[in-house]
Structure 1
Amino acid sequence: MYTTSQSQKVRITNDMLASKGKRLANFVIDYFIRIVLVFGFGIVVAIYAHSVGDEDILYAMENMNTITEYLIGFLFLFIYYLIFESINGRTIGKYITNTKVLMIDGSKASSDKVLMRTLSRIVPFEFLSFLGNDDKGWHDTWTDTVVVDIKKYEEIKNSRNSISEIGVEI
């Protein structure tokens, strides 16, 4: 249940969940942003290495093996999702699609749940798991979290709050 400032509760229901299309858009946008961040980081490191004359760093970057590339990718994935979803439950993709991560009871996702969501994204093909029947990915199911469409969530929450205020004296 989500507790509002008036101590009224709103239960997360399936009609509040983000659509598969929005979930896919979140993934694509966030993936693109992570690629840009990794590329930008590589440029900064290369400029630094060139400015201090450290050819070893440049050589290491040019001859990086696949495992190291994956580890760097996972590091950026980890940092990106952990920071953004811990702060307010929204990555850049979620800002663009107007979606947000919440606990299944409607509360803000706790730091430990965000950490588990982030770690579970490392599972191969996990990013495709939300395409199943219930619009929830493994990282949602394993952590008791959901991604809601903020507009739908607010409309339903406000509607339920309005109904519960009928007959209440002011």
Structure 2
Amino acid sequence: METTELTISADLLASRTKRFLNLLIDLFIVYLFTIGIGALINGLGVVTGNFQVADWIINLSPTENALFGMIVMFFYYFIMEFYLSRTFGKYFTKTLVVKPNGSKPHLKSILIRTLVRFIPIEIVSFLNNNSRGWHDTLSVTYVVNKHEFLAKAKL
């Protein structure tokens, strides 16, 4: 029995517009999670009568706030893409992350993908002719249109 591997072709790749929309949605979700965690900590302080942690969160410097947001962002992308191959932004745009053979990315690929997002100039990597950034190329992953991908995978 002959087995053939699925190869990711240019027609399956998500457009730059979808990728940008993914970014905007995901940053908004990370922002909501960050605020939600702060509100939860404050609420726990009210319930327990212990406001030490809540006071610490309220008095974070801008740098500490940015670091806290980056930690939330790391876990958001890592957990969502490792377990689901998608983030909320990708659910909305009907895209998903795959390896070149169409399989689900492994732990190492998702870890690299997530860490590369924190390179300050990574956003300029989308200025090339295709819709792949450094977090795609260095992790050897693709963001594809889900329905087109699944249709091709059935063939």
SS at match of 1:147: strand
Match of residue 98, structure 2, among 102, 119, 122: 102
CA distance in 2, matches of 1:32, 1:132: 25
Q: Is the 8 A contact 2:42 2:51 kept in 1?
A: no
The alpha carbon displacement at 1:151 in A equals: 1.9
**Which amino acid in 1 is paired with 2:28?**
F
**Which amino acid in 2 is paired with 1:58?**
A
Q: Is the 8 A contact 2:12 2:148 kept in 1?
A: yes
CA distance in 1, matches of 2:123, 2:50: 38
The alpha carbon displacement at 1:132 in A equals: 2.6
Q: Is the 8 A contact 1:20 1:131 kept in 2?
A: no
Match of residue 140, structure 1, among 136, 142, 145: 136
Residue of structure 2 in register with 1:123 after alignment: 119
- Aligned counterparts, 1:78-97, within 5 A: 78-97=74-93
Stretches (4+) displaced over 6 A: none
Larger displacement relative to structure 2 (92-101 or 44-53): 44-53
* Structure 2 gaps, min length 5: none
1:33 aligns with 2:29: yes
Q: Once the two structures are aligned, what percentage of the paired residues are identical?
A: 34
The alpha carbon displacement at 1:48 in A equals: 1.0
The alpha carbon displacement at 1:14 in A equals: 1.0
The alpha carbon displacement at 1:9 in A equals: 2.5
CA distance in 2, matches of 1:110, 1:145: 10
The alpha carbon displacement at 1:157 in A equals: 3.6
**Which amino acid in 1 is paired with 2:56?**
A
The alpha carbon displacement at 1:128 in A equals: 4.7
1:64 aligns with 2:60: yes
Residue of structure 2 in register with 1:45 after alignment: 41
Residue of structure 2 in register with 1:168 after alignment: none
Q: Is the 8 A contact 1:120 1:126 kept in 2?
A: yes
**Which amino acid in 2 is paired with 1:95?**
Y
Per-residue CA deviation, residues 49-97 of structure 1 (Å, 9 max, x unaligned), is: 1222233323322221122112211111111111111112111111111
**Which amino acid in 1 is paired with 2:53?**
I
